[in-house]
Structure 1
């Protein structure tokens, strides 16, 4: 029997987010809205009970890999996603800059 937890990342399109689960318990999420073939990530969180386990990085990496597989692009409004992308250049080819237009659109969508 292994003590290694089972970690899964799942898209939850109906709620506009990806969730990471540890042994079936939701440990965190990264939220987005879609605009013109771009997935605009605006918030990432991991529950304090799961902090320090590298879950946020795994969550974002798997979410961005899913975005690529869907033929979409990434807009990193979320500070964590932006920081992740500075260290993971394998996503540079599908990353678009955050612009005032995107920020205004996102604010209106979330209002």
Structure 2
């Protein structure tokens, strides 16, 4: 699945088990593992030049939207993902 999110292409790269957001020729990504009705987010990475720009947060919005669309619960193993969800209470209902 590929869609435009905030004008940036967001996709689920199932071959690599990661969500990707293309930003200015670079890729922000979140590694995941699906297990039944659960989506475990194990790692979120932004290239150094994109850190602090909100790119990883836009990626996380896409991840949560994807989880909601698929009816999945989220387990944020990655500390960034866990803190992001904690700060964005509108997604708390997706926590496993």
Structure ranking higher in strand proportion: 2
User: If each structure's helix is expressed as a fraction of its own residues, which one has the higher value?
Assistant: 1
The question of a shared fold, defined as TM-score above 0.5 by the shorter chain, is answered with yes
Q: CA RMSD in A?
A: 1.2
Higher relative CO (CA 8 A, sep ≥ 6), structure 1 or 2?
A: 2
Q: Does 1:14 align with 2:10?
A: no
Structure 2: state its 5+ residue gaps. 1-6
Distance in 2 (alpha carbons) for counterparts of 1:60 and 1:90: 13
Tell me if the contact between 2:23 and 2:55 (Cα under 8 Å) persists in the aligned partners.
no
TM-score w.r.t. length of structure 2: 0.86
Query: What is the aligned length?
Result: 90
Q: TM-score, normalised by structure 1?
A: 0.75
Larger Rg: 1
Gaps of 5+ in 1: 1-5, 97-111
8 Å Cα contact 1:19/1:26 also seen in 2: no
1:44 equivalent in alignment to 2:15 = no
Structure 2 residue matching 1:39: 3-state secondary structure: strand
